[in-house]
Amino acid sequence: MLNHPLLPKQLSAGIVIVHFDSERYRLLALRNFNSWDFPNLPVEEGDDPLQTALRAGRESTGLDELELDWGDASRETVPFEDGSVTRYYIARSKSDDVQLDVPPGEGSEDFEYRWVTAEEAEDVLPPRLALILDWALRQLASKT
């Protein structure tokens, strides 16, 4: 079913987690089987998308202290065929010590994380996230 402008969209919320490594910002990319993405979760009815995004970051990475240096600025993906979109925010982590959450019953070889540069992010992230990556990099540049 295609999303119609008058129908409510299916919303997920995600977080682009960045860490400054004394030289440059690196972005945290997560691999779930063959797909790379930023942490995200579906937004349940009545939930705040920003809080959902922060929870996604904490639960999937173990990074508890996520700073919203860019406030509540966000950007949404282009809708998928089913009309769903993901709204991404940006948070800074002082730590780069990720404790990857592997779902019970899944093999750890199917999950991975990488702190990537902008150039590396372009290589690993799918084309559907190019808009989000471009937006995040512009936000990072505005803070330097």
Q: In the chain, what's the furthest Cα-to-Cα distance? A: 47
pLDDT at res. 109: 85
pLDDT digits (tens, 9 = 90+) for 14-42: 999 999 998 999 999 999 999 999 999 99
pLDDT digits (tens, 9 = 90+) for 44-103: 999 999 999 999 999 999 999 999 999 999 999 999 888 899 999 999 999 999 999 888
pLDDT at res. 8: 55
Q: Break the chain into its structural domains and give their ranges.
A: 11-96+111-142
Q: Residue 52: helix, strand or coil by DSSP?
A: helix
Alpha-carbon torsion angle 70, 14, 134, 80, nearest 10:
-150
pLDDT digits (tens, 9 = 90+) for 118-144: 999 999 999 999 999 999 999 999 976
Q: What is the mean pLDDT of the chain?
A: 91
CATH class of domain segment(s) 11-96+111-142: alpha beta
